[in-house]
Structure 1
Amino acid sequence: MLEHEYTVLGGVNRARIGHYLGVISSIVSAGVVFVFLWAVDLAKTFGIFPNVPPSVLSLLGAGTVFVVLYWILDRFAWRWSLLSKVLKVPNLCGEWDCDGQTLNPDGTPGFQWKAKITIVQSWDRIRVRLKTAQSGSNSTSAALICDPADGYRLFYGYKNDPNIGETELKSHRGSAEITFAKDLRSGKGEYFNGYGRYTFGQMNLTRL
């Protein structure tokens, strides 16, 4: 798995979310156990004596409920529109068309390039994959910032590796900053390369 953890700045503290899930898990677990035991007692009134091993009750404990609720949050619930606004975590999943432009040291336009960016994201992990005709890169670290004025901003560091046969290109590391429109349909960004390729430039993203 190439997805990695990412930081959310300006959103709801994740430790607090864990606390809330713990409280909800305890309440849900108590309710499920109560209903389960009530069903057992009801069965006994009809002359049915179910054999319930103690392990069944342990599976209904708060720990199990917490794991289930966290899995639902991590995979699905964080994407729901209302909850996403409360958590202040944007859903950036999917593919993006990228038009790039390198800039010369004096600020004049340089080489133009195109790429496809694929973002894989869950509640606590993310991966930004950029692929051009000559090379590909994967994010190694990331942070999301909730900016009420401009929209969401994504900062990430990446490692780029050229395709076999691209002798003029070298593996390198870099960083990028992308500001997404409030409707999450487009974005504008800047990138800076080093450790093998000392270039920088701009990116324009459009959601596919």
Structure 2
Amino acid sequence: MLNHEYALLGGVNRAFIGRYIGAAASIISGVIVFLLLSLVDLASTFGMAVNLPPTALSLVGAGVVFSVLYMLFDKFVWRWSLATKWLKVADLSGEWTCNGKTLSESGEVRYEWSADVTICQTWDKIRVRLKTSQSGSNSIAAALLYDEAEGYRLLYNYRNDPRADQPELRSHVGCANVLFDKNLLVGSGEYFNGHGRPTFGRMEFTRKTLAAVEKV
């Protein structure tokens, strides 16, 4: 299953980021080309024959510089603490534990379950992988909402597929709504299944780093 795009709600518009990176790429490319040409002129004054082919200049063109800057931003820069505060986006990537409760129509607990959750996330894409002893699910669409009062809310749709040795279970689709605290250490929310398993309940997420600390 591949990572997929996700919507950002309440944060900085992605289009603005592209414009900022584009402007920075133009400036950086111009500076590099100016320095290279200046070095060629300097070499010429000392009688040194220096040949600067157009191919070399194309390697530092604005398009190439933009690609490099955007790759760095997508993979690393947006995760920096100052960047996440400005962008108003949560870095949820990492390993989580999930404790869930499936509820009845009257709100009583039908049964409890636990899962390991892996969230893969870059600036552009995300995937929520939840795995229990009986089945596993992957997100297929998602949105991340910044809530100034409460924290960050992750909304995602997923597809769940049971293991081959679980014939009583059926593949199904569902949706989840999880609110993470501002420190991004715990989260809680609800899930709703349908089209194969009409169940619903609650989930509690805890970062594995925090869980490990609590056990010590």
TM-score (norm 1): 0.98
Alignment-derived partner of residue 104 in structure 1: 104
For 1:22 and 1:6, locate their aligned partners in 2 and report how far apart those are by CA, in whole Å.
22
Matches within 5 A, 1:67-82: 67-82=67-82
For 2:160 and 2:202, locate their aligned partners in 1 and report how far apart those are by CA, in whole Å.
17
For 2:44 and 2:84, locate their aligned partners in 1 and report how far apart those are by CA, in whole Å.
46
Shift of 1:46: 2.4
Alignment-derived partner of residue 179 in structure 2: 179
Alignment-derived partner of residue 88 in structure 1: 88
For 2:12 and 2:194, locate their aligned partners in 1 and report how far apart those are by CA, in whole Å.
33
Alignment-derived partner of residue 123 in structure 1: 123
SS in 1 for 2:37: helix
In structure 1, the gaps of 5 or more residues are none
Shift of 1:45: 2.2
SS in 2 for 1:51: coil
For 1:91 and 1:46, locate their aligned partners in 2 and report how far apart those are by CA, in whole Å.
53
Alignment-derived partner of residue 152 in structure 1: 152
The share of aligned pairs that are identical, in percent, is 58
Shift of 1:47: 2.2
Q: Structure 1, residues 54-110: CA drift from partner, whole Å, max 9, x if none?
A: 111111111111111100000000100001111111110100010000000111111
2:63 matches 1:63 = yes
For 1:45 and 1:188, locate their aligned partners in 2 and report how far apart those are by CA, in whole Å.
69
Alignment-derived partner of residue 19 in structure 1: 19
SS in 1 for 2:115: strand
Bigger mean CA deviation after superposition, 39-48 or 80-89: 39-48
SS in 1 for 2:158: strand
Shift of 1:165: 1.2
Shift of 1:203: 0.4
Shift of 1:22: 1.1
* Deviant stretches of 4+, over 2 Å: none
Matches within 5 A, 1:189-208: 189-208=189-208
Q: Structure 1, residues 8-56: CA drift from partner, whole Å, max 9, x if none?
A: 0001111111111111111111111111111111222222212211111
Shift of 1:126: 0.2
2:28 matches 1:28 = yes
2:52 matches 1:52 = yes
For 1:53 and 1:30, locate their aligned partners in 2 and report how far apart those are by CA, in whole Å.
17
In structure 2, the gaps of 5 or more residues are 209-216
TM-score (norm 2): 0.94
Aligned-partner residue type, residue 76 of structure 1: F
Q: Structure 1, residues 94-149: CA drift from partner, whole Å, max 9, x if none?
A: 00010000000111111100000000000010000000000000000000000001
